[in-house]
Amino acid sequence: MPQDQTTTPSPARSEDASISELIQQLSEQTSRLARQEVELAKAEMTIKGKRLGIGAGAFGGAGLVALFGLGALTAAAILLLATAISPWLAALIVAVVYLAVAGGLALAGKSKVESATPPVPERAVASVKQDVEQTKLRAKEGRA
């Protein structure tokens, strides 16, 4: 029974395939692989974008806490401490406490931003490099 030339041979029969069939298979597999790599890169960039957004939000939160903390609560704390110590010392103590809180939030934001940078899909890049190496090895084996 003659074999239909439009069907793709199974991997088990690849040694019987013609050069044109092998090239067609390589082209199809390369296209599919490229699409998969793009999808991986998209997913990785989405995750990094979310981390970057969380880090930026933490920086914004640090600024907001510092602003309100040094405004409304500072006045109340200074007045409370001023009953026991000099008013200028009370103001200094409260300011240091609120700035320490703001510093902690800024460090948390910085670590989130650093974990999202550089904004490069590292796993996708590594996977593409590995795929290129595998293709080169298979091409060399085919010529040998």
Residue 1 DSSP one-character state: -
Residue with tokens 């590594």: 126
Range of the domain at 78: 36-143
Burial of 55 (0-12, 13-18, 19+ CB in 10 A): buried
CA 62 to chain centre: 23
What pLDDT digit, counting tens, does each position of 15-56 carry? 566 888 888 888 889 889 888 988 888 888 888 888 888 988
d(CA 99, CA 57): 18
- Does a structural domain hold residue 26? no
Low pLDDT (below 50) residues in the chain: 1-6
CA–CA separation, 40 vs 126, rounded Å? Answer: 11
pTM greater than 0.85: no
21 domain-assigned: no
Whether residue 29 lies inside any domain: the answer is no
Q: Does a structural domain hold residue 131?
A: yes
Does residue 31 fall inside a structural domain? Answer: no
70: in domain? yes
The domain tally of the chain equals: 1
Tell me if 77 is assigned to some domain.
Answer: yes
What pLDDT score does 11 carry? 53
